[in-house]
Amino acid sequence: MHADKPLAARSGGTPPQGAPHDAAPEGTAPPRKGRKRPRRGLFARFVSAVLWLGVIGVVVGGVGAVALWQHFSRDLPDHARLADYEPPVMSRVYAGDSRLLAELASERRVFVPIVAIPKLVQDGFISAEDQNFWTHPGIDVLAIARAAVTNLQQIGQGRRPVGASTITQQVAKNMLLGNEVSIERKAREAILALRIEQVLPKERILELYLNEIFLGQSAYGVAAASMAYFGKALDELTVAEVAFLAALPKAPNNYNPFRFPEAAKGRRDWVIERMAEDGAITATAAASARAEPITVRPARFAERVPAEYFAEEVRRQLIDRFGQEVTTQGGLTVRTSLDPVMQEAADRALRDGLIAYDRRRGGWRGPVARVEMPPERLRTAWTEALAAQARPAGALAGWRPAVVLELGDQEARVGLLERGARPGVPPQPRILALPMSEMAWARRALPENRLGPVPRRPADVLSPGDIVLVELLEAEPAVAAARGRPARAALPERLALRQMPEAEGALVALDPNTGRVLALAGGWNFERSWFNRVTQASRQPGSSFKPFVYLAALERGMSPVQKILDAPFVVDQGPGLGRWRPTNYTAGEFGGPTPMRVGMEKSKNLMTIRLAEMVGLGAVADVSARTGVIPNLQRNYSMALGAGETTVLRMAAGYAAFVNGGRQVAPTLIDTVQDRQGRVIYRADGRECAGCVADAPGGAPPEAPDNRPRATDPGSAFQMVSMLQGVIQRGTGGRAAIDRPAAGKTGTTNDFLDAWFVGFTPDLVTAVWIGFDEPRPLGDNETGGLVAAPVFSAFMREALRGRPALPFRTPPGLRMVRVNAETGEPAGPGERNVLMEAFKPGTEPGSAGAATGVLGGGAQAEAEGATTSRRPAAALDAGLGGLY
């Protein structure tokens, strides 16, 4: 079989000499054992190593990526909730005429659904912030690469790293993560962006972004920014205005058009170019937009009803009812009772009254500041000194600081800075005359409410370098008799010296039939003090409380002509406590037997205390609680004279029960509140009206039943109205008279600390208080009739202008009898000083139930001229309470 092969080959011996060691005989396969592969080249081994390293790197990188993903994904916010997310939206408060009153917000935002946002606005923000928004999965890899290269080039330059956030990433950051600058936050942001894109459509993501983004000027979202910068709705914006808004997300403060107009325009023009590149606008539209200046007109945010005290009280009530978060972020729509015309009249009347008192009693308290420099330098450098002077808090809008430059015999020359015609234009200096006639009131203030002599020349009031408040008065026709000029002469443009009063005041007006507050002035100026003296200040009402004592007597069958003894009254306070001897306003004057009506009209203290003794202090406290004036009145006689404490709003509500027929009144400032979906979640009027919701209109309008509790009976209420009319017609409230039927009562507390007038017409109740926040005397004889009644009159005349003069409605069942206004006796034919008095059946003169004689002391008291009560009277050291 193998005879043709050598023996050595067959037996495994040594091969023939000269043959290769691994060679095999021709035609046969090489042996398996000891065979070697060809040696690979160096390049092949390098490639192999790289491939192996790549595989290892991929594996390790994948493991690391998974680990990092799990690390950064841990505890991420739930992105799915963005599907039902409702961004914080500011609440809006509207006056009774639907004008904007206030915006309550931690962030000023108006939410607009994506379908209502114009495509131009959408395209502008996409071009500026995320050109690939519609195509990327949540992150833009190319943008990230560009940002990385840019950041590498800026290493060591101290610049902030450039980001590459998509709109989706910005939504994740703004709504779920926060603004921390770190690699970890960016990684979490990217992960969230990818997840958001999986659960939300692009339109919803863009909607959230455009409503959440901060754009400066306290505006969040494009709708709020459009109003803040241009006073326009979104569909009214031009291309240039859209581009400016789209330029703001990067750095709103750096592109503020007021501070950095050039930077703002440069960034805006860049956005315009991007919009043109993306095809959002044409080249022609882009060129036109670039040529348009940035003109900021935030007009509509400024168009609010100026009623800061009212708005702040509404805010407090909303927070008490709904909480802070819902009030400022819930998008509430609040309708209030405010009447802007009445509010303006209230502010003006109160301020005029405070100025009148201040000029009469406060005197001139000197300049608000001084410029200390030589006169020659003052004439040239006054503008810089005045520009550095801050405007005093509380100065009215038309008042401005001015510096006194020169003094003449009958006028001073003062310099002031006129405001620029538009934002960014510096104020212009002007020098005007301040005539002596406009500072003749400025008598020097002296201690104890005393005043110095009347000034004769400007030097008696001012000095060069004084910074004072002035008001620019326009040229107007002169009054010939007052000025000694021809009737057609005109006063030139001039200045008037002004001063903020130290005294404060409050005024509130409400509808007596509903309790809706129509006007509320809580002080001189909200800028000076947020303290609302209508609702937050508790003060003694003084004699304005007396009607509630008289009401208790009327409810017990006494008539307005019932005679009460006006004579000294002494209260024995007990062993060692001495005696309390109240007096009338004019001490030592006593009227003897006097009709109740006259006692009310003349505000007789002694008659009021006798009435309180006769009906009982418990009855007085009961009336006070039913009307809501003082819910827990102390049982002592000084309380009958108004020594308790109440608020201006409570007093107005208490008097409303007189004019509305005896119903209790709960004052309200808020009519309705709607949530962001328009659902009514609060309504002040809680009456049920079955016929108010009908399928088809027709017939007479339905009437809702008046189910409010009664404060008193209609007859007693009308009798009180009639008596309070006499206060204005013949008594202490003469300065409150207006051109229509009105009623009311003055009030002055012990030592002239508080001055009141509370009054009403058939359709409006108004309460006025004037005093100092830290109680101190207003001055001798500064009574409610002198200080507060003129404010009431001025307000009512303006508030009711153009309305019909309505009479007070007499309830059924009363008997009207002609009586003498002074004696209360039935009037004879042709008798003067006669009025129609209201009597309840059986109490009119001559009837069997009519009271006769004098109440409050009997024959012995009349003979001795005094009445002594041995009832305990604790806390009488609180003072007399009511004076006039």
Burial (CB count <10 Å: 0-12, 13-18, 19+), residue 49: exposed
567, two tokens: 């004579």
User: Residue 534 is encoded by which pair of tokens?
Assistant: 């209508």
Q: In this prediction, what percent of the chain has a pLDDT beyond 70? A: 79
Look at residue 222 and tell me whether its pLDDT is greater than 70.
yes
Whether 650 has a pLDDT exceeding 70, the answer reads yes
Grade residue 251 by pLDDT with cuts at 50, 70 and 90.
confident
Q: How much is the average pLDDT of 526-548?
A: 97
Phi then psi for residue 845, to 5 deg, are -55, 135
854, 593 in Cβ contact below 8 A? Answer: yes
11 belongs to the catalytic site: no
Check whether 861 has a pLDDT greater than 60.
no
Q: Is the pLDDT of residue 339 over 70?
A: yes
The 3-state DSSP class for residue 796 equals helix
* C-alpha to C-alpha distance for 233 and 153, rounded to whole angstroms: 42
Q: What is the mean pLDDT of residues 582-600?
A: 89
Mean pLDDT of the chain: 84
Task: Write the DSSP symbol of residue 215.
Answer: -
**Minimal CA–CA distance to 215: which of 167, 166, 253, 181?**
253
Residues 6 or more apart in contact with residue 654 via CB below 8 angstroms: 548, 627, 628, 629, 665, 711
Q: Is the pLDDT higher at 4 or at 504?
A: 504
Strands 108-109 and 670-674 come out as unpaired
Averaged over 402-425, what is the pLDDT?
Answer: 84
Question: What pLDDT is attached to residue 774?
Answer: 95
Respond yes or no: is residue 372 known to be catalytic: no
Lowest mean pLDDT among 22-36, 168-182, 561-575, 687-701: 22-36
| Burial class of residue 51 in the structure, from the number of CB atoms within 10 Å of its CB (0-12 exposed, 13-18 middle, 19+ buried) | exposed
For 40, residues 6+ apart whose C-beta sits below 8 A from its C-beta are none
**Three-class HEC string of 454-506:** CCCCHHHCCCCCEEEEEEEECCEECCHHHHCCCCCCEECCEEEEECCCCCEEE
Q: Quick one: pLDDT at residue 62?
A: 62
| Cα distance between residue 56 and residue 62, in whole Å | 10
Give the integer Cα–Cα distance in Å for 758 and 756: 7
State both tokens at 603: 């505000």
Burial letters 206-232, b for 16+ CB under 10 A, else e = bbbbbbbbbbbbbbbbbbbbbbbbbbb
Output the CA angle 782-363-435, nearest 5 degrees.
130
Give SS3 for 141.
helix
Per-residue pLDDT, 776: 94
Tokens of 65: 């990526």
Residue 726 CA to residue 763 CA, distance in Å, equals: 18
Ramachandran category for residue 857: left, alpha or beta (phi over 0 → left; psi -120 to 50 → alpha): left
Residue 591 scores a pLDDT above 90: no
Give residue 86's pLDDT. Answer: 73
Does residue 538 contact residue 651 with C-beta atoms inside 8 Å?
A: no
481, 581, 840, 848 from 564: Cα distances, Å? 50, 18, 19, 20
The reported pLDDT for the residue numbered 289 is 94
pLDDT at 126 over 90: yes
Q: What is the pLDDT of residues 372-413, one digit of tens each?
A: 988 888 888 899 889 888 889 999 988 999 999 999 999 999
Check residue 761 and give its pLDDT.
98
Q: Report CA-CA distances (Å) from 86 to 113, 224, 617, 673.
A: 11, 16, 57, 19
Secondary structure of residue 678 in the 3-state scheme: coil
- Whether residue 73 has pLDDT greater than 90: no
Instruction: Write b or e for each residue in 738-773: b if 16 or more Cβ atoms lie within 10 A of its Cβ, otherwise e.
Output: beebbbbbbbbbbebbbbbbbbbbbebbbbbbbbee
Task: Of 730, 741, 736, give the one whose Cα is nearest residue 755.
Answer: 736
The bridge status of strand 754-761 relative to strand 743-748 is antiparallel
Selected catalytic residue, list 91, 543, 638, 793: 543
Distance between CA atoms of residues 593 and 103, nearest Å: 59
pLDDT of residue 552: 97
Q: What share of the chain is helix, strand, coil (3-state, %, to 5)?
A: 40, 15, 45
Summarised one tens digit per residue, pLDDT across range 709-722 is 999 999 999 999 99
Asked if residue 766 has pLDDT above 70, the reply is: yes
Residue type, 21: H
* SS3 of residue 816 by DSSP: strand
pLDDT at 338 over 50: yes
Strands 450-451 and 445-446: antiparallel
d(CA 25, CA 255): 92
User: Residue 39: pLDDT band by 50, 70, 90 thresholds?
Assistant: low
666-704 residue pLDDT tens: 999 999 999 988 899 999 988 777 666 665 566 677 777
Three-state secondary structure call for residue 592: strand
Q: Give the torsion through C-alpha atoms of 697, 511, 628, 878, to 10 deg.
A: 170
Q: What's the pLDDT score for residue 153?
A: 61
Which pLDDT score, from 0 to 100, does residue 77 have?
52
Model confidence at 302: pLDDT above 60? no
**pLDDT exceeds cutoff 70 at 273:** yes
**439 close to 455: Cβ distance less than 8 angstroms:** yes
- pTM to 2 decimal places: 0.80
Q: CA-to-CA distance for 735 and 845, rounded, in angstroms?
A: 32
* Residue 195 structure tokens: 């997840």
The percent of residues in the chain predicted with pLDDT above 90, rounded, is 57
Where residue 148 falls (left for φ over 0; alpha for ψ -120 to 50; beta otherwise) is: alpha
Of 673, 705, 693, whose CA–CA distance to 327 is shortest? 673
Q: Which residue has the higher pLDDT, 165 or 247?
A: 247
Is the separation of the CB atoms in 175 and 76 below 8 Å? no
Which of these ranges, 4-8, 603-607, 736-740, 752-756, has the smallest mean pLDDT? Answer: 4-8
Contact criterion met (CB below 8 Å) for 628 and 665: yes
Strands (E), 303-410: 333-336, 369-370, 399-407
Catalytic residue (choose from 91, 103, 127, 129): 129
Q: The tokens of 607 are what?
A: 């008659």
Looking at residue 482, its pLDDT comes to: 45
* Least confident window among 76-80, 438-442, 480-484, 716-720: 480-484
Residue 680's alpha-carbon distances to 251, 773, 800, in angstroms, are 39, 39, 32
Strand ranges for 150-241 from DSSP E:
219-220
How far apart CA 808 and CA 435 sit, in angstroms, is 48
In the DSSP assignment, the letter for residue 578 is: -
3-state secondary structure (DSSP) of residue 429: strand
Rounded Cα distance, 631 and 653, in Å: 13
**The two three-digit tokens of residue 653, written as one number:** 């509500």
Q: Average pLDDT for residues 221-236, to the nearest whole number?
A: 90
Cβ–Cβ under 8 Å, residues 95 and 206: no
pLDDT at residue number 600: 97
Structure tokens at 267: 């960034």
Phi, psi (deg, nearest 5) at residue 473: -100, 130
Structural contact between residues 14 and 7, judged by C-beta atoms closer than 8 angstroms? no
Inter-residue contact 88 to 188 (CB < 8 Å): no
pLDDT digits 0-9 by tens, 794-828: 999 999 999 999 999 999 999 999 999 999 999 98
- Which has the higher per-residue pLDDT, 763 or 86? 763
Using the predicted structure, report yes or no on whether residue 14 has a pLDDT greater than 60.
no
